[in-house]
Amino acid sequence: MSLQILYRDEQLIAINKPHGLLVHRSPIAADAGEFAIQLLRNQVGQRVYPVHRIDRKTGGVLLFALDKDTEIQMQQQFAAHQVLKKYLAIVRGFTPDQQEIDYPLAKENGALQEAFTVYQTLRRAELDVPFGQHPTSRYSLVEASPRTGRMHQLRKHFKHILHPIIGDRPHGCNKQNKLFNEKWGMNTLLLHAAYLAFKHPVTGEAVAIEAPIQEEFERVMKIMNW
């Protein structure tokens, strides 16, 4: 697999991570044989250090440092919420034009952490596909910015407001996921890390990195006539 490189300089490199690719080896995904770190290291011929995470099922911008000092500085920026992140997601139903989601999320030990997301609705679609008791199916394309960085934050937040992301398991709508799989042969999580913006840790210049949507996401966009 050849990874799409979106940005590269002497300290940083960013890729458009495919949906389904793990960032690194994990005991909870023993089935995986390929990892973004390993693939990118082999592709560029040097060590790379991930400075943040996007989960396995999510595609889009994934940023790496090329040395330890840069890794530490970028991780500090992420921890201090100084990095602007924008995601695209296709969700069930018609979402409000814009909304703030202020809903704490539990860690593995049960402790609650504050979690805050803002989003705006970009497009809506109503398909002539019956769903449950409804004669049609409704969907929205949203641009979401998580202001905190909790595990599966966007997936949990959109479930909380009853607009789950299509293709999400276990936080999504199983009936919608079954519909997409049976009607369109689609089981990809429709969540894409579209944009990162931050201050370069060495030069101090503003850096903005955008990732184009990938094949399955684009295919669903066409189904929606977007």
Of 9, 31, 55, 97, the catalytic one is 55
CA–CA gap between residue 85 and residue 60 (Å, rounded): 11
* Three-state DSSP class for residue 190: coil
CB–CB of 112/106 below 8 Å? yes
CA–CA gap between residue 139 and residue 19 (Å, rounded): 21
Other CB atoms closer than 10 Å to residue 170's CB: what's the count? Answer: 8
Q: How far is CA 82 from the centre of its chain?
A: 18
Tokens of 26: 């994990």
- For 115, the enclosing helix (H) or strand (E) is none
Q: Is 55 a catalytic residue?
A: yes
In the block, tokens 């966007």 appear at: 154
Catalytic residue numbers read 55
